[in-house]
Amino acid sequence: SVTENQANLFTFANNTKSTLFNTKSVIKYYTSKRVDTKKIVLSILLYSRFFQNTNSFKNIYDIKVLLLAESITYYNENTASSYSYNNNIKKLVNYNTVEVAKQKAD
């Protein structure tokens, strides 16, 4: 099974199953249908999703309390996405790091 990225800007070429949807393709689709770009609002999610054993999401965490003890944060510049994972308790938290927020703002 594959846990997908949340709110990623781009497809991850090395694992397309982890990025079935992405912001770039959605914007491209709307503009191809002649939607005025001035009417498209793109926002940045500043919350996270929590996955227990990566089977499904269980809770939504406030960003101030989201990093679990002994978790490792992963940042993928190619997709503009990030998450933290604790291998001991098999918990994954998908969220935007400061780097991702800056990349999305650009």
pLDDT tens string 52-68: 555 444 555 566 666 66
Name the DSSP letter for residue 36: -
For residue 41, give both structure tokens.
Answer: 């609002």
Question: What's the rounded mean pLDDT across residues 43-50?
Answer: 61
pLDDT tens-digit readout, 9-26: 777 777 667 667 778 888
Cβ pair 5, 19 in contact under 8 A: yes
Within 8 A by CB and 6+ apart from 46, the residues are 63, 96, 101
User: Cα angle at 21 between 5 and 18, to 5 degrees?
Assistant: 40
User: What is the pLDDT at residue 90?
Assistant: 82
pTM higher than 0.85: no
Residues 6+ apart with CB under 8 A from 51: 3, 57, 58, 91, 92, 93, 94
Output the DSSP codes for 41-97: ------S-EEEETTTEEEE---GGG-PPTT-EEEEETTTTEEEEEETTTTEEEE---
User: What is the rounded CA–CA span in Å between residue 36 and residue 49?
Assistant: 31
